[in-house]
């Protein structure tokens, strides 16, 4: 039979038997084990020489669906075709993990398990699946705050020490930064406690430096948005292009600053970010309007350059503070002539401004979130599992609508109209 959710639910273990195997008729080796208690577990069976191997995929209903199990089975069958042994590899990986944990425990017992070792192990073990920017930023923040403690045994770091560190960060960088550090450090120490490397987590009982963080709500007005876009045109190249792309695409500043030439297809008008470069680890394709493509074509590519906005040391641009100051100065001059002032804003506010502006233009929330590469909100939970539509056409149309709105704001014209209405009507038919 073919394994589907319907046939899996109907499969029964014969009375008096411990369990029964059912194999899929379309995918060799993909099977279902039904026990007398009613548990249904997906497996993959294959041969290595004359030896039969089985790999457990997961429990139906509790851990994965039949479709998800089939995809896993297909991937494992591919490994087998490449003459690999998934079961042996899993066993070796488990053994390596146990050996690493035993080494951590031994180091901790001998006093050699330092705070630096803890941070390094946590980075390699716990943050492996996070984005590259997160893996680089968070450990660096921990090391900076715990600089004097790095060579000391982690077991000696007590709650009073944690409080002193948080107080120092609060004074130097503010309560929000202290909150972030507390969350990151608590996660790091919890990871070590769960693996038996440490007995207690000194960060658990520390007070929050700020009882409650207020979410940022700053959205630039159309006049401010237009002023940012125009001010960017006066900034030295290619940094002005970088700011204008932040305005036009709404992507995160780190992702734009780290843009690579091999991610761009200027002929097709697309920018494809791999999962390792995005905050949530999901690959993300950004449609580029004609205006965005024209901006990128003005950037002179240095010989051998990998990055579009490459700094003098062949690294991604990081001088956002000075760049923002230049934009602010140009905006202040513009608004001063009109007898107005600009409220404080950040580059990240441009992303929120685009999200809010697209709602005003009539763009569907799902399309906006797809453009921003958000997996929360309308794309979370069961919807995120079963809704796989990529919204590519809608994303392109929405980006054109937003670009038209930005250009209209830059020229001081009235708000752009609802230019995405035709798409909604088309979808409704």
The predicted-structure confidence for 123-175, as pLDDT tens digits, reads as follows 988 887 676 777 888 999 999 999 989 998 999 899 999 998 998 888 788 78
Least confident of 26-30, 107-111, 122-126, 416-420: 416-420
Quote the Cα angle for 383-389-393, to 5°.
140
pLDDT at position 388 over 50: no
Alpha helices by DSSP H, listed for 250-391, are: 253-257, 290-297, 320-337, 349-360, 365-372, 381-386
How does DSSP assign 2-34, residue by residue? Answer: ---HHHHHH--PPTT-SEEEEE-SSSTTEEEEE
Q: Which of 238, 244, 290 is nearest to 266 (CA)?
A: 290
Q: In what order do the strands lie in the sheet with 264-265?
A: 264-265, 270-273, 284-287
Phi-psi region for residue 61, left (φ > 0), alpha (ψ -120 to 50) or beta? left
Q: Is residue 94 part of a domain?
A: no
Assess whether 267 and 333 both reside in one domain: yes
210 lies in some domain: no
Torsion of CA 58, 59, 65, 69, to 10 degrees: 30
3-class DSSP state for residue 73?
helix
**211-247 residues labelled b (16+ CB within 10 A) or e (exposed):** eeeeeeeebbebbbbbbbbbbbeebeebbbbbbbbbb
Q: Which of 31, 55, 84 is the last residue of a domain?
A: 84
**44-83 exposure pattern, b = at least 16 Cβ within 10 A, e = fewer:** bbbeeeeeeeebebeebeeebbbeebbebbeebbeebeee
Mean pLDDT over each residue of the chain, to the nearest integer: 84
- Residues 55 and 111 reside in one and the same domain: no
Q: Domain boundary residue among 36, 57, 84? A: 84
Q: Is there a contact between 414 and 222 (Cβ–Cβ < 8 Å)? A: no
pLDDT-derived band at 383, boundaries 50, 70, 90: very low
pLDDT band at 110 (very low <50, low <70, confident <90, very high): low
The total number of structural domains that make up the chain: 3
| Same-domain status, 280 and 322 | yes
Bridge partners of residue 20, in order along the sequence: 34
Is 256 a domain residue?
yes
Same domain assignment for residues 39 and 106: no
Phi, psi of 255 (to 5 degrees): -70, -40
Residue 342 CB burial class (10 angstroms; 0-12, 13-18, ≥19): middle
**What is the per-residue pLDDT across 170-224, written as a single tens digit (0 to 9) for each?**
878 878 888 999 999 999 999 999 988 899 999 998 987 664 555 567 899 999 9
Is 168 domain-assigned? Answer: yes
pLDDT (tens digit per residue) in 339-363: 777 788 889 899 999 999 999 999 9
Considering the domain architecture, whether residues 184 and 227 belong to the same structural domain is answered as no
Within-domain flag for 33: yes
| Token pair in block for residue 249 | 């695409």
pLDDT reported for residue 100: 60
214, part of any domain: no
Task: Tell me, yes or no, whether 326 and 422 share the same domain.
Answer: yes
Q: Is the pLDDT of residue 99 over 50?
A: yes
CATH assignment at residue 19: 3.30.160.390
User: What integer pLDDT is reported at residue 66 of this predicted model?
Assistant: 92
Tokens 């690999």 belong to residue: 84
Helix axes 239-249, 320-337, angle to 10 degrees: 80
**Is 171 found in the same domain as 62?**
no
**369 in Cβ contact with 378 (< 8 Å):** yes
In this predicted structure, which of 191-200, 221-230, 373-382, 418-427 has the lowest mean pLDDT? 418-427
Q: Does one domain contain both 115 and 172?
A: yes
What are the tens digits of pLDDT across the range 250-306? 999 889 999 999 999 999 999 999 888 887 777 889 999 999 999 999 998 887 888
Distance CA 52, CA 38 (A): 25
Indicate whether this model's pTM tops 0.75.
no
409 and 330, same structural domain? yes
Please check whether residue 90 lies inside any domain of the structure.
no
- Say whether both 174 and 272 belong to one domain: no
Name the β-bridge partners of 272: 285
The token duo for 68 is: 């998800």
User: Per-residue pLDDT averaged across 317-335, rounded?
Assistant: 85
The CATH number covering residue 292 comes to 1.10.443.10
* Domain carrying residue 178: 100-194
Pair (19, 159) in one structural domain: no
Predicted local distance difference test score (pLDDT) of residue 420: 45
Whether 72 and 105 share a structural domain:
no
What 3-state class would DSSP assign to 290? helix
Helices 349-360/365-372 angle, 10° precision: 160
Does residue 116 carry a pLDDT above 60? yes
3-state secondary structure of 214: coil
Residue 155 and residue 144 in contact, taking contact as beta carbons nearer than 8 Å: no
Give domain status of residue 133, yes or no.
yes
How far, in whole angstroms, is CA 171 from its chain's centroid?
Answer: 30
């Amino acid at each position: 039979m073919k394994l589907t959710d319907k046939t899996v639910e109907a499969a029964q273990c014969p009375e008096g038997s411990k369990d029964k195997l059912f194999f899929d008729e379309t995918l060799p080796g993909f099977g279902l084990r039904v026990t007398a208690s009613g548990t249904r577990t997906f497996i993959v069976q294959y041969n290595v020489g004359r030896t039969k191997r089985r790999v457990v995929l997961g429990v139906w209903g509790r851990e994965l669906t039949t479709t998800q199990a089939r995809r896993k089975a297909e991937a494992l069958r591919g490994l087998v075709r490449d003459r690999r042994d998934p079961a042996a590899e899993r066993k070796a990986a488990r053994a390596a993990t146990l050996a690493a944990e035993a080494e951590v425990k031994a180091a901790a017992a001998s006093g050699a398990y330092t705070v630096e070792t803890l941070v390094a192990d946590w980075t390699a073990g716990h943050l492996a699946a996070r984005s590259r920017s997160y893996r680089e930023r968070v450990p660096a923040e921990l090391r900076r705050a715990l600089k004097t403690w790095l060579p000391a045994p982690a077991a000696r770091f007590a709650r009073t020490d944690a409080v002193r560190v948080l107080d120092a960060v609060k004074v130097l960088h503010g309560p929000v930064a202290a909150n972030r550090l507390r969350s990151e450090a608590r996660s790091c120490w919890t990871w070590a406690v769960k693996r038996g490397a440490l007995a207690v987590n000194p960060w658990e009982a520390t007070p929050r430096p700020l009882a409650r963080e207020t979410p940022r709500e700053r959205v630039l007005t159309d006049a401010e948005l237009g002023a940012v876009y125009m001010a960017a045109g006066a900034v030295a190249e290619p940094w002005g292009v970088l700011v204008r792309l932040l305005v036009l695409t709404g992507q995160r500043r780190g992702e734009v600053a780290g843009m690579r030439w091999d991610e761009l297809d200027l002929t097709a008008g697309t920018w494809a970010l791999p999962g390792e470069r995005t905050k949530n680890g999901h690959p993300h394709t950004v449609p580029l309007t004609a205006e965005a493509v024209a901006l990128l074509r003005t950037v002179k590519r240095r010989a051998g350059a990998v990055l579009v906005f490459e700094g003098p040391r062949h690294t991604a641009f990081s001088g956002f503070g000075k760049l923002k100051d230049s934009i602010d100065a140009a905006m202040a001059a513009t608004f001063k002539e009109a007898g107005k002032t600009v409220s404080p804003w950040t580059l990240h506010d441009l992303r929120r401004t685009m999200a809010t502006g697209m709602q005003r233009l009539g763009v569907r929330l799902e399309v906006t979130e797809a453009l921003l590469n958000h997996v929360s909100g309308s794309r979370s939970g069961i919807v995120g599992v079963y809704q796989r539509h990529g919204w590519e056409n809608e994303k392109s149309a929405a980006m054109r609508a937003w670009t038209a709105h930005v250009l209209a704001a830059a020229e001081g014209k009235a708000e752009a109209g609802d230019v995405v209405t035709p798409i909604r009507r088309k979808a409704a038919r």
